[in-house]
Structure 1
Amino acid sequence: MDGSGISGDRFRVLLGQLNPVMGDLAGNAAKARAAWDEGRARGVDLVALPEMFLTGYQPQDLIRKQAFVLDAAEHLDRLMAECADGPALAIGAPYVDGVRLHNAYHVLHGGQVISRSLKHFLPNFNVFDEVRVFNRGGVEGPWTIGNHGPRIGNPVCEDAWYPDVTETMAECGAEVFIVPNGSPYFRDKFEIRLNQMVSRVVETGLPLVYLNMVGGQDDQVFDGGSFVLDRHGALMMQFPVFEEHLGEVVFERREDGWHPLKGEMAVLPGSLEQDYRVMVLALRDYLGKTGFSKVLLGLSGGVDSALVAAIAVDALGPENVRCVMLPSEYTSAASLEDAARAAALLGVRLDEVSIEGARAAVEEALAPLFEGRAADITEENIQSRLRGLMLMAQSNKFGEMLLTTGNKSEVAVGYATIYGDMSGGYNPIKDLYKTRVFEICRWRNANWRDWMKGPEGEAVPVAIIDKPPSAELRADQKDEDSLPPYEVLDGILKMLVDEEKSVADCVAAGYDREVVKKVEHLLYISEYKRFQSAPGARLSPRAFWLDRRYPIVNRWRDPSG
């Protein structure tokens, strides 16, 4: 073993799959220091953390504020000094090269920066807009510690999705890749990541570490799931998803190069469980990182609010969730019973505030102006807006964040009242189509995990899942009075929204043209509502907000089909 502490035959890396808080430079630096302390206690050679860990990711336009970048640089310098005597520390943080700002990955050792990799390929699609805030860096060569460790290349996140960077690093002598990431979740993304990284390994013949961030940031959840591949593309280590995790990988030098030894292999959960956990983690982190500890929501007796209540309880515990029933003359006895049953199953407090008196007062005040006009959607929306008013008043009074409960199907076609049931600070099911709402409810009723803070067993009453959905804003109202059946609506929306298909494509798939054109019209005219809606957990590659950005004023309609 030489003076660096590295064995000639072994190189040990502690991987920190950790959860930073956006802008909490001191807190993130402390978390990095704690990981480094753990690595020093274990006697490892390198402690590696994810992309932009010091600031949090994605910083968006916050990173354009000079004072923020300077503050980050000061915290990085302190870490460099504090972590001088022990293993190297690799950490993502911004870097200014003259006047050019970069997404950089710094390797600190012995009180110096021994390597700095600048992100070369800046993603500018889906939720990413890095071209707006960062400058493209050149491809850096590999680095090493002492005389016997492997030569390590650090392609930063997107850089590893293309062969150019890894092949250049390999040509410059890299023997191992450690790829720091801030890669957010969307459904079934793990296999996409894995296939891409296997391609880089096959192209270069070098082992690869994929180190991902974990935790919620606004609408995005970084799902972790870090892994290690050997030089043949075989999976040697797999970290759990959605959990902070410190894991050690050992590289062994043999005649043909460096090889990672077999390590822990976490089992990846199925798609429904991953979606549900994303919604739980997104809400838990959004509340915790914004300083809230309690939530409330309107519990209508419908499936959407019942699912949001279950998510909130699993995220925060029943003692931190309060539900409110706001009945009107159109609220059925069955809905009152179902809401009470849902609250009882979850163990949450259920309050009741009638909107009848307030509704009568509003209608009386408006009567002189509305005289001679028949009742229509106006009166229905008054009810919804009164509920929003009363829930927001309670949120203000008690310091509880109000959760809104519209699913993606409703958000897409505007089947929600702005300043009414759209009122709230966060929407856990914003990217969950109605048909999948039912699937998730059934999954939660049949499954319980130790990361859930709610009770085992039935969480959403079966009676709620099975009954026809209704807004109950007029007598005998059903959702299908205004919308196609959800199986049809969701099928069309998946094509128009998630796949950007044409009307002709939808018709060719078997959907009625008039129905498709109605859905398309509702989709476009509802853009202004989505522009003002609460953030919510991203589950798909085409979630409303950053993934799909459309103009509010838009007269174009698809002439095909």
Structure 2
Amino acid sequence: MKIALSQMQVIPGSPEKNLATIKDTIAQAKQNNVDLLILPELCISGYMLSDMWLVPSFVEEMHGYNEVMREASDGIAIAYGNIVLDKQINTRLNDSAHHPNKDGRVRMYNAVCVVQNQQWVKRAKHSQYLPDGIQPKTLLPNYRFFDDQRYFFSLNDVALDMGVSIEDLAQPLLLEHNGKQVKIGFQVCEDLWCKDYRKDGKALNMSRYLINNGAELLINISASPWTNQKHDARDRRIEFLAQDVDQFVPFYYVNNVGPQNNGKNIITFDGGTTVYNAQGMPVQCSQKSFAPDLMFVEHEQLPQQKAVRSEPGKIEQKYQAIQSGLRYIKDMLGFEDDPKFVIGVSGGIDSALVVCLIEQAFGQDNVWALNMPTKYNSSATQNVAKHIADKLGIKHLQIPIQELTDAQMDVFTKLDEALPSPEWMRKLSDENIQAKIRGTSILSNLAGRYGRFFTNNGNKLETALGYATLYGDVGGVIAPIGDLTKAEVFEMARFMNEHIYQDEVIPHSLLPNELFEFGEGDIAPSAELREAQLDPMKFGYHCALLEKFTSFAKTSCEDVMQWYLQGSMEENLGISTALIQRWGVDEPASFVEDLEWFARNIQRNVYKRIQSPPIIVTSPSAYGFDIRESQMPWRTSERFNQLKQQVLKMEKYNPG
């Protein structure tokens, strides 16, 4: 049996474009004498559509495409992902009972649909509980940015409603091949990530149920987002499945590519389509990441050797994810052509990296670099902005804003005479006037005037600490580096110089040494809103803290203080003793003061993050709808206060 696995790009909310891709793929499969074509999860509609899944007319339209797919299966079998509205459930059950979705609507499955020769395929064991040719997703993820339980009815829900076992519903489907029936077990995405879903003291393992019911091979159709080292994570999951059954069978995994979004996050999909043998070993895989691919497999002649595939380093993978997310903008907005951009380039490292990322995604003709100096901006940073623009071959614009700043300052100086305010508030407001002029008065208006977009250039550390001006640099259509720590910004800048450009496009003067120190003549990070201003973050150290604070299993201040007492900061944060000493947090009082400042600022700036533009996800936990936050005061627990007193009694941090 010849099988084709389509690692297709799925454009969410664009069924016509997706169907055109699918029909081309079907034609190509038929030309290659394919018996079974496998397409990804929700490949017609897209997966991350938020509450579009609650719009009846849209859902009806998506369901209607199942007939289009059935008709397209003449001479071939097709397994694809789509929603199924179970409208005939009362007819099949011969009852008048109420069998709704959990929200009271018509029951809706996120399912693998299987058609062959214009017919819905049958089950190995007939069941009146489900329509022919469909297998609903069993495990509905409800973590990170996944909301499946909000919209869909699972196979497990069906079992509960009908009073039958999930094992009995996990039946293979029967495909005709050379006059014989082949029993194939179908599952959807999360069904293979089953180790942490439990039933009767074991993993709720659809693979085990399907194999026990006679499946000769397994097929998983996915819309599984990229994360760093995702290939390794998938392989380990399949290894678990193989160990959890008495006799495993070949396993076919098909994933989509192309970003999707939930309004606040842009999530990328890398593919990773792979065939595993009966020992759970990967033996054939797509060599394309973040790109479409069509892979052909002779099922009876699977390779015996383990497949060789390279997995780039973390920063290169994050670079690929950001590029994929940026190129998605035209699809996200329904444009036929790539958008044009004007980027505020201050001469600092963040905007330097962003303008390079945008140039790589859209080409030099689609990018302008805009520098907006005041009296506080040094000639060094202004020269850096021009240097980068010249190296990239993009238009360089400079619009000084000192006169606009002075004009606004005059207004508020007069107002202060009648309405006095604390000096620290006036100084902060005076600084932020510059940022607001840049972001709102100049950058956004210039973008609107010339039909261009502008970006948010903030990194994850700035986003966390609120080191940005609302209605100033908190704006734009997208935040390309909003999920990169400052340490990763420096690392990606080096990567681009060395591997993308093979040239010093981003000046070395913007890049620190391994302890994040800047030498004489270098340009340390600064907002340049006042004289001799430097960013208040402890780079490297705060970056490591933030990664722990925002990891999937989130670290608390109490955890960090416990590490400090144990002398295990290096091990737990992945940093050196030298970096701890460089920032002075080996002094217990300084450590506590800094930790409180760090945690307090993260909590007090939730309101800014709520209003920030979409962030491209590059970490296991990104701000947006990945990390869901409520506005509330920062507080300390009793344990925090106890640990604080213990730390303050220390003379010095003692590593190890």
Same topology, TM > 0.5: yes
In 2, distance between residues paired with 1:261 and 1:26? 40
- 2:252 maps to 209
In 1, distance between residues paired with 2:303 and 2:493? 41
Structure 2 residue corresponding to 1:526, chosen from 605, 619, 627: 605
**2:11/2:331 contact within 8 Å kept:** no
Task: Tell me the alpha carbon deviations over residues 45-82 of structure 1, each in whole angstroms, 9 at most, x when there is no partner.
Answer: 1111110111011122111111111111222312321x
Task: Tell me the alpha carbon deviations over residues 376-403 of structure 1, each in whole angstroms, 9 at most, x when there is no partner.
Answer: 1101111001101111001111221111
- 1:54 maps to 44
Task: Using the TM superposition, give the Cα deviation of residue 491 of structure 1 relative to its aligned residue in structure 2, in angstroms.
Answer: 2.2
**1:26/1:75 contact within 8 Å kept:** no
- 2:193 maps to 161
- Aligned runs of 1:447-462 on 2, under 5 Å? 447-448=499-500, 455-462=501-508
- 1:229 maps to 276
- 1:137 maps to 155
- 2:299 maps to 251
- 1:175 maps to 216
- Aligned runs of 1:385-404 on 2, under 5 Å? 385-389=436-440, 390-404=442-456
Task: Tell me the alpha carbon deviations over residues 273-295 of structure 1, each in whole angstroms, 9 at most, x when there is no partner.
Answer: 10011011101112343125212
**2:347/2:383 contact within 8 Å kept:** yes
In 2, distance between residues paired with 1:270 and 1:37? 37
In 1, distance between residues paired with 2:47 and 2:455? 24
Residue 530 of structure 2 aligns with an amino acid whose one-letter code is R
- 1:121 maps to 139
- 2:529 maps to 473
Q: Does 1:496 align with 2:580?
A: no
How many residue pairs get aligned? The number is: 536
Q: 1:472 to 1:441 in 2, by over 3 A?
A: same
SS, match of residue 258 in structure 2: strand
- 1:13 maps to 3
**1:228/1:260 contact within 8 Å kept:** no
Q: 1:97 to 1:397 in 2, by over 3 A?
A: same
Q: Does 1:92 align with 2:81?
A: yes
In 1, distance between residues paired with 2:180 and 2:308? 28
Task: Using the TM superposition, give the Cα deviation of residue 456 of structure 1 relative to its aligned residue in structure 2, in angstroms.
Answer: 4.7
- 1:241 maps to 289
**1:496/1:520 contact within 8 Å kept:** no
SS, match of residue 214 in structure 1: coil
Task: Tell me the alpha carbon deviations over residues 90-124 of structure 1, each in whole angstroms, 9 at most, x when there is no partner.
Answer: 11111111321111111122212222110011000
- 2:361 maps to 315
In 2, distance between residues paired with 1:494 and 1:355? 36
Task: Using the TM superposition, give the Cα deviation of residue 547 of structure 1 relative to its aligned residue in structure 2, in angstroms.
Answer: 1.9
Select between 186-195 and 405-414 the one with higher mean Cα deviation: 186-195
Select between 518-527 and 200-209 the one with higher mean Cα deviation: 200-209
- Aligned runs of 1:353-368 on 2, under 5 Å? 353-368=399-414
- 1:369 maps to 415
Residue 437 of structure 2 aligns with an amino acid whose one-letter code is L
**1:299/1:339 contact within 8 Å kept:** yes
- 1:68 maps to 58
**1:216/1:286 contact within 8 Å kept:** no
Q: 1:532 to 1:107 in 2, by over 3 A?
A: same
Structure 2 residues not aligned, in runs of 5+ = 88-105, 122-132, 157-168, 195-202, 513-522, 565-584, 586-590, 644-656
Task: Tell me the alpha carbon deviations over residues 135-179 of structure 1, each in whole angstroms, 9 at most, x when there is no partner.
Answer: 112544112321436421111011112252111111111111111
TM-score, normalization: structure 1? 0.92
Q: 1:15 to 1:458 in 2, by over 3 A?
A: farther
- 2:321 maps to 278
Residue 243 of structure 1 aligns with an amino acid whose one-letter code is A
Q: Does 1:287 align with 2:287?
A: no
Task: Using the TM superposition, give the Cα deviation of residue 266 of structure 1 relative to its aligned residue in structure 2, in angstroms.
Answer: 4.2
Residue 26 of structure 2 aligns with an amino acid whose one-letter code is W
- Aligned runs of 1:91-110 on 2, under 5 Å? 91-98=80-87, 99-110=106-117
Q: Does 1:505 align with 2:494?
A: no
**2:359/2:366 contact within 8 Å kept:** yes
**1:180/1:211 contact within 8 Å kept:** yes
**1:208/1:228 contact within 8 Å kept:** yes
- Aligned runs of 1:295-314 on 2, under 5 Å? 295-314=341-360
**2:183/2:215 contact within 8 Å kept:** yes
Residue 242 of structure 1 aligns with an amino acid whose one-letter code is F
TM-score, normalization: structure 2? 0.79
SS, match of residue 180 in structure 1: strand
Task: Using the TM superposition, give the Cα deviation of residue 264 of structure 1 relative to its aligned residue in structure 2, in angstroms.
Answer: 7.3
Task: Using the TM superposition, give the Cα deviation of residue 263 of structure 1 relative to its aligned residue in structure 2, in angstroms.
Answer: 9.6
Query: What percentage of residue pairs aligned between the two structures are identical?
Result: 29
Report the structure number with the largest CA radius of gyration.
2
In 1, distance between residues paired with 2:544 and 2:35? 52
Q: Does 1:328 align with 2:361?
A: no
Task: Tell me the alpha carbon deviations over residues 495-520 of structure 1, each in whole angstroms, 9 at most, x when there is no partner.
Answer: 22224222122123335122111111
SS, match of residue 490 in structure 1: helix
Q: 1:110 to 1:532 in 2, by over 3 A?
A: same
Residue 471 of structure 1 aligns with an amino acid whose one-letter code is A
